[in-house]
Every structure is written in C-alpha cells, then in structure tokens.
Amino acid sequence: MELIPDLPETVARECLLRSSYHQFPLMASVCKLWQREISLPDFFRHRKASGHSQELLVLSQAQVDDPVNKLGSGKTIPTPVYRISVLELGSGLRSELPPVPGQSNGLPLFCRLASVGSDLVVLGGLDPVTWRTSDSVFVFSFLTSTWRVGKSIPGGPRSFFACASDSVRNVFVAGGHDEDKNAMMSALVYDVAEDKWAFLPDMGRERDECTAVFHAGKFHVIGGYATEEQGQFSKTAESFDVSTWRWGSQADEFLSSGMTTWPPVCAAGEYGDLYACCRRDLMVMRGDTWHKVGEIPADVCNVSYVAVRRSGKLVVIGSARYGEPSVGYSWDMSNSRWVKLERHEKYEGHVQAGCFLEM
C-alpha cells in the first residue's frame, strides 16, 4: 500500500516529514499506514536530519486568572492552578495541552516533567487541594493528543526529587524526601513504553531537593542535602552509568562554593556542554571547572527552567521573583547576547518545571 496514492514513496514520505506536530493526531487517524509511519523512531530521526523537526519547551505553568482558594485544613491562601503550556521555539507560538483527565484542580504542585520520544511524562508532586504527596504518573502522547495514566511511582511517598530522561525510553528519578521530611538516597527508572518501574542501586548519600541531567549515557544527580543538613546544599554529585548499571564515585567538589546557596538549574547540550544558572550567573563546565560565561538578566534571574537547543543557544525561563510575570530569554554563546522572547499575557504565570522536546 502506498503512503500517498500515485506519489513516489520518497516524495510521499517527504510530505509527512514536513508536517507540523499539531497535525500528527489527524495524520494518525487517516490510516494505519500513516499512524505506523509517524510512530517510527526513524521518522523523527529523518525530521531532525532534514531540518523539519520542531523544538518545544513544555512547561508546568500557572494560569494567570484561576486560583484555587480552598486548600483544606482552613487554609485560604490562593494557590494557582497549573497546566501544561507549550512554547514552539522556532515560531514563538504558544499553546496549552488538554487538561489531565480527573485533575480538575490542575496539575500536582511541584510535579516533574520529562520527555521520552513523542511522549510527555508528568510525575509526582503534591495534591493542589490537600497538599498530600502524589505518586501519580501521567503520559501525554503528542501523536494522538491523548493522556493515559501510567503506573504509580513505587517505594512510598516521594517529593522534591530529581528527574531526567534519556529522551528515548526511560525516565530516571532520584532523591527527594518522604512524608516525614527524611531525605532519600534511593533511585528508580521508569520504562515508558513498558509502563514499568525498577529500582536502581541506592546513591552514595541522601539528596533532598537535588537536580539532575542526563547526558553522555549517564544520569547525573547534583547537589541536594541530607536530612540533618536542612537546606545546606552539598557541592557533591554522582552519576549512574546505564551501560554498567552502577553509580560512579562521588565527585566531592562538583559545584563551586558560590553555587550551593541555592540549587542550580542545570541543562546539558547535545554536544556534551553542561550549563548551570545560579542566581544572576550563567555557568558552563569546562573540564572539571565551572566558568562564568554570562550574567542572567534581572527579570529572569529566578530561573525555573533552562534548555539547550540543537543550535547551541540556551533558552532560560523564569521571573524577577516569585509573583512576577514569567519571561523567557535566548542566549547565543557565539556573541554572549541575550534576546528576550515575545511575551504573551496568557502565558506569564509562574513556571514550576519544564522539559525540552524535539520532534
């Protein structure tokens, strides 16, 4: 059967490759052949190689006009309703994903986001009404524009954990704290395609409020603090090698002294560069040493998320302080120039988490 009747296979495939990701659900509904074609890993590799892929920032972002006023237990402090917003970096267009079924009060607070293939994974967080720890997993398919419920996070309640994905199949989780505020040293991996969780070996130390990135075949867990340290962030980091299924030796001085007063927001580039946003400082690791390469603009210095584009440009999302509008900047490493992204009033709510997706 032909992809498109009376067209050569190469031409028909090129037509599909040039389609916007917005059209994927419609394309998948046309016929099983098209559905299979756009589901193949080769399809996205060819989109990327031919320059037709789209880079997306997917954010857990507060609605600007719809607070939840009842939090239970007599609390009346308004809590924003969080939903998933999407920023297309090439065009600057913004959109909102359909709400998660059954989550009428919005996303769990402080949930984590990760991208795997053409799927978005939303993990954990706190119930926005009761503030109880959630072990929920929700998966959104950009191919079908539908949500499904994933298998719950095992191992008991866990919040403020680190999370990163290999972008292909697995999401890695480490650290955080339990319901009694005890910092955790356990780690897990979630196979999105199989909907299965597995425990990894424990880390070398407890790490609450740590951060994580995945690059060069390793899951890197950075900073955090042990139960008795209570917010005194560690300089250390450790890396899980997926090829050996082991943690490497702890790097005792991974972060410099000025990077431990507040957990850094980190991102890894496609070519191995590791960046960190620390208040007003933009840092890059060269060899084993952090170097300041730029000063983050004041109105985005409370950084919520940072991503490295395939071009090497950084995108930073944040605000001047909590309660101020969220804004975005692009930083070009070739000239160290910051360019402010176009603002949209509907998408100026606080951002709690994000992930980068190229498809």
Quote the radius of gyration of the chain (alpha carbons, Å): 20
pLDDT at 71: 42
DSSP track, 92-153? --EEEPPPPTT-TT-SPBT-EEEEETTEEEEE--B-TTT--B---EEEEETTTTEEEEPPPP
Cβ-proximal residues to 266 (8 Å cutoff; 6+ apart), any chain? 211, 212, 213, 222, 274, 275, 276, 277, 306
Spatial distance between the Cα atoms of 164 and 112, rounded to a whole number of angstroms: 9
Q: Which two tokens stand for residue 223?
A: 């900073």
pLDDT at 2: 84
pLDDT in tens, 173-204: 999 999 999 999 999 999 999 999 999 999 99
Spatial distance between the Cα atoms of 68 and 65, rounded to a whole number of angstroms: 10
Residue position matching structure tokens 């719809």: 66
pLDDT in tens, 224-280: 999 999 879 999 999 999 999 999 999 999 998 778 777 799 999 877 789 999 989
Spatial distance between the Cα atoms of 38 and 41, rounded to a whole number of angstroms: 8
pTM of the model: 0.93
Mean pLDDT check: name the lowest of 60-74, 80-94, 184-198, 261-275: 60-74
SS (H, E, C) 117-133: CCEEEEECCECCCCCCE
Cβ-proximal residues to 26 (8 Å cutoff; 6+ apart), any chain? none
- In this predicted structure, the answer to whether residue 74 has a pLDDT above a threshold of 60 is no
- In this predicted structure, the answer to whether residue 207 has a pLDDT above a threshold of 50 is yes
